[in-house]
Amino acid sequence: MSPRIAIAHDYLTQRGGAERVVLSLAKAFPEAEIHTLFYEPEQTYPEFREMRIRTSGLNRIGAFRRDPRIALPLLAAASSRMRIDADVVIASSSGWAHAFPTTGKKIVYCHSPARWLYLPDDYLGEAGPLDPKRIALKALTPFLARWDQRAARTVNLYLANSSVVRERIQRVYGIDAPTLFPPFSPSVAEGEQEPISGLSGWAGGDGTEGGHYLVVSRLQPYKHVDAVIEAFAGMPDRRLLVIGRGLEKQSLLDMAPANVRLVEGLTDAQMRWAYANATALIAASHEDFGLTPLEAGAHGIPTIALRAGGYLDTVQEGVNGTFFDAPAAAEIRAAVQDFAGIGWEPTLIQERVERFSEERFAHELRRWGRDSVVSGENSVQR
């Protein structure tokens, strides 16, 4: 008899790399039910509408679905009550799903140990010492840290999504976690393309030399989108298209010059058009895994990336991109100017992407799942 597999994820309330991983998990294990604290269909990928999803009781509160961070004081208790009846739970976790209790074995595919505990400045951004979020987090941290460490000890196997996350798991939990890179979804490149309304004659695809440069990112402080916009303020002859939503949207709109546009809520066809008609993707944040260079690379488009974090796993200098050393406007501007003189081979860029296929990801996860069922021991290496 095949093992009963379930999928767990912190919350399905946005469109991002972690949510794409859940879609890939669902492809690998189509019979699996998905367990998550919150699910807001209008804010995440439409494919989830066709899947079996079980949520926490807190999901009834609309404000929490729209912004789960405001439920922070309640999430540890809610996670501890998300009991899952399955032989193997594969938990896609950035801090909550690793704690969901189960009757069987638990494999955690870790995007990062909880940022609010171990990288609080990244999580809080520019929040000052008197900001209510910072005050609340400081008060909750001792309790949440003990709870998080206990939750980590319930896991049979940790898998890290990148080299930097593997190092972080070792530092935070003392666990040696194998690295399994997340998959690139071919749907990002396959299918129809649709120009973005209102950008006709401005963004790429209109015959203008070079097309637009592209940022695809949540608009959070640690993503450094402001530094990219500042860089392009000094290059009025080049155009920058920013795709994303988040808390910094209004401040970024306020600072954006005429050669920078911000959009959100695009269809998959519009996203494909934005990538395919770009000159290059610009990736300025310190990511745990650099997924967007793969999405750009599927279209043969190179990346100008911060030389840090997960981009070191996905960007090979001179093959599918180049680097700058700090998320500062002057560094980004210089990198864009230097980039113009480099010749790129789209075929080599696309071959780089093929190393991160969904097939490889699914094969490895199935193997780890089988091994977990067969093994009667906790396989976490400390």
Q: How long, in residues, is the chain?
A: 382
pTM exceeds 0.95, yes or no: no
CA–CA gap between residue 352 and residue 357 (Å, rounded): 10
- What was the pLDDT predicted at 78? 98
- Which residues are within 8 A (CB) of 79 and not within 5 positions of it... i.e. 6 or more apart? 37, 56, 96, 97, 99, 100, 151
Asked if pLDDT for residue 241 goes beyond 60, the answer is: yes
Model pLDDT, residue 209: 47
Q: Decide: 169 and 158 in contact? Cβ < 8 Å.
A: yes
Give me the mean pLDDT over the 193-217 stretch. Answer: 79
For the segment 81-93, the average pLDDT, to the nearest whole number, is 96
With 90 as the cut, is the pLDDT of residue 121 above it? no
Question: Mean per-residue pLDDT for 47-60?
Answer: 97
User: Which class is 5-183+357-374 in CATH?
Assistant: alpha beta
Cα 173 from Cα 28, distance rounded (Å):
28
- Residue 167: count other Cβ atoms within 10 Å of its Cβ: 13
- Closest CA relative to residue 29, chosen from 39, 19, 21: 21
Share of the chain above pLDDT 90, in %: 71
Closest residue by Cα to residue 105 from 381, 332, 368, 306:
368
Whether the Cβ atoms of residue 284 and residue 228 lie closer than 8 Å to each other: yes
Crossing angle, helix 329-339 and helix 225-233, to 10 degrees?
A: 60
CA 107, 111, 113, 116 torsion-angle sign: negative
Q: Tell me, what's the pLDDT at 373?
A: 60
Give ranges for CATH 3.40.50.2000 in the chain: 5-183+357-374, 186-355
Look-up of token digits 């749907």: 187
CA distance 277 to 360: 28
* pLDDT of amino acid 207: 41
Residue 59 has pLDDT above 90, yes or no: yes
Confirm if 336 and 313 have CB atoms less than 8 A apart: no
What pLDDT score does 230 carry? Answer: 98
What letter does residue 140 receive in the DSSP assignment? H
H or E stretch including 229?
Answer: helix 225-233
53: how many CB neighbours lie within 10 A of its CB?
Answer: 19
Q: Which residue has the higher pLDDT, 289 or 381?
A: 289
What percent of the chain is helix, strand and coil (3-state, nearest 5)? 45, 15, 40
Domain 186-355 architecture = 3-Layer(aba) Sandwich (3.40)
